[in-house]
Amino acid sequence: MFNNGFGGESNPYAQNYATGGGASGGGFLANGSQSDSPSGKRAGNNTLRPVTVRQILNADQPHPDADFTLDGAELGQLTFVAVVRNISRNATNVAYSVEDGTGQIEVRQWLDSSGDDTQKASDIRQNIYVRVLGTLKSFQNRRSISAGHMRPVIDYNEVMFHRLEAVHAHLQLTRGVKSNQANGAVGAVQGLDRGQAMQTSDINAYSGSNQNVLDQYKSLDPLPRQIMSIVTVEAENHHDGVHVALIARKLKGVDLAEVKTVVEELSSEGYLYTAADDDHVLPTA
């Protein structure tokens, strides 16, 4: 089982890593695979490295036949979380254009003849977060990911956890961050999530009529939760995006400037993305 340095098997997101073909048992921070100092640089191809898209694009490759390296460590199997922006389906493979806020890259998943992969690929849709496990490839100076496994992300906490995990891996390789320091940081984030939990009664009548939306965004503060409810419902009739002015009109007593500020925060956190222009937004899921 994957031990990522943030609590190992007790972490629900780390447990899902083992479902990726070939990735089982190869955790980047597995016991004995890395030291707590920058001197333990060689990670090896059997490890699983949490990364961002920007790190993938910036990985070093001295020459076309050389292995990729990141932070001085060999980059073998990797994992990241990103939003699917475009899908191109072919008979033998599916190509996804994904981005995580740090960069954009193509992910290609090859389909076998059993039909099982085809069924799994149908679960991946545009504008949802996915967990990707795979390897970095380069062809004609263009980098892409060959995915061994992809699945939808159903809990946004996994997105935030992955960002922390990627930072932790980077710091451990470059500065020798101790695992107990990372555990403390994650514990603080989890405590913050619990403290921000809201009851449905805190939301106004507009949100109250959309229980599924309320459940999906129940960890948000009242105003962001109201905004997500409005955008989710209005998006059905505004395919080019819901204008921030419309959101403000639905929120009686909240001025436009405050709505824009909250919308920007929700966009930076991955809940919304801009559509026709910066004033039109749509939910990512």
Per-residue confidence (pLDDT) for residue 180, from 0 to 100: 52
The domain boundary, picked from 154, 174, 194, lies at 174
Residues 170, 231: one domain?
Answer: no
- Domain of residue 262, residue span: 219-283
Asked, for residue 112, whether it belongs to a domain, the answer is yes
Residues 169, 241: one domain?
Answer: no
Per-residue confidence (pLDDT) for residue 219, from 0 to 100: 80
Residues 159, 234: one domain?
Answer: no
Kind and range of the H or E element at 274?
strand 272-274
Residues 168, 246: one domain?
Answer: no
List the beta strands (DSSP E) in 71-113: 73-74, 77-89, 93-99, 104-110
Residues 148, 225: one domain?
Answer: no
The C-alpha atoms of residue 57 and residue 162 are separated, in whole angstroms, by 18
The C-alpha atoms of residue 56 and residue 98 are separated, in whole angstroms, by 13
Residue 1 pairs with which residues in a beta bridge?
A: none
Long-range (24+ apart) CB contacts under 8 A made by 262-267 are 262/223, 262/224, 262/227, 263/227, 265/224, 266/224, 266/227, 266/228
Asked, for residue 128, whether it belongs to a domain, the answer is yes
- Domains in the chain: how many in total? 2
From residue 171, give the alpha-carbon distance in Å to each of 35, 47, 51, 57, 175: 12, 17, 12, 18, 5
Mean pLDDT to the nearest integer, 142-166: 92
Residues 163, 57: one domain?
Answer: yes
Asked, for residue 272, whether it belongs to a domain, the answer is yes
Asked, for residue 254, whether it belongs to a domain, the answer is yes
Residues 161, 257: one domain?
Answer: no
Residues 130, 227: one domain?
Answer: no
Residue 93 pairs with which residues in a beta bridge?
A: 110
Over 50: is that where the pLDDT of 85 sits?
A: yes
The C-alpha atoms of residue 98 and residue 53 are separated, in whole angstroms, by 9
Over 50: is that where the pLDDT of 201 sits?
A: no
CATH number at residue 253: 1.10.10.10
Per-residue confidence (pLDDT) for residue 26, from 0 to 100: 36
Pairing of strands 77-89, 93-99: antiparallel
Residues 6 or more apart whose CB falls under 8 angstroms from that of 92 comprise: 110, 111
Asked, for residue 13, whether it belongs to a domain, the answer is no
Confidence (pTM): 0.53
Asked, for residue 226, whether it belongs to a domain, the answer is yes
CATH number at residue 138: 2.40.50.140
The C-alpha atoms of residue 242 and residue 181 are separated, in whole angstroms, by 42
pLDDT band at 207 (very low <50, low <70, confident <90, very high): very low
| Residue whose tokens read 């101790």 | 178
Asked, for residue 263, whether it belongs to a domain, the answer is yes
Per-residue confidence (pLDDT) for residue 91, from 0 to 100: 86
Asked, for residue 7, whether it belongs to a domain, the answer is no
CA angle 3, 183, 195 (to 5 degrees): 120
Residues 169, 53: one domain?
Answer: yes
Per-residue confidence (pLDDT) for residue 12, from 0 to 100: 53
Per-residue confidence (pLDDT) for residue 191, from 0 to 100: 42
User: Widest CA span of the chain, in angstroms?
Assistant: 61
Residues 167, 225: one domain?
Answer: no
284/84: higher pLDDT: 84
Lowest mean pLDDT among 15-24, 83-92, 232-241: 15-24
CB atoms within 10 A of CB 240: 11
Residue 106 pairs with which residues in a beta bridge?
A: 97, 144
User: pLDDT tens, 240-276?
Assistant: 889 999 999 988 888 899 999 999 888 888 888 888 7
Residues 72, 168: one domain?
Answer: yes
